């Protein structure tokens, strides 16, 4: 769960890394091997993206420091 602005780039980089892994794996694995290997990764991405959106939306509810 993202709790600070400093954690946001780390969460985004994690998703980007997972996507790169999938793209590279598609190049070297058969369809069957890729399907078995990749199955949990899109689910992980789908779980992390709402965390990012939730943090951004939740941040809008907080008063802006100024």
Confidence (pLDDT) at 30: 95
Whole-model pTM?
0.72
In a domain, 2, yes or no: no
Confidence (pLDDT) at 1: 82
Domain that holds residue 46: 7-61
Q: What is the pLDDT of residues 7-61, one digit of tens each?
A: 999 999 999 999 999 999 999 999 999 999 899 998 999 999 999 999 888 856 5
Confidence (pLDDT) at 61: 58
In a domain, 1, yes or no: no
**Distances, alpha carbon 42 to alpha carbons 3, 6, 24, 56, 60, in Å:** 23, 24, 14, 21, 28
Split into its structural domains, the chain has a count of 1
Confidence (pLDDT) at 62: 58
In a domain, 33, yes or no: yes
């Amino acid at each position: 769960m993202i709790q600070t602005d400093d954690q946001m780039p780390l969460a985004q980089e994690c998703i980007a890394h997972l996507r790169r892994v999938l793209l590279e794996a598609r190049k070297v694995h058969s369809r069957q091997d890729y399907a078995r290997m990749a199955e949990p990764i899109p689910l992980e991405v789908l779980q992390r993206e709402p965390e990012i959106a939730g943090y951004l939306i939740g941040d809008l509810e907080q008063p802006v420091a100024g």
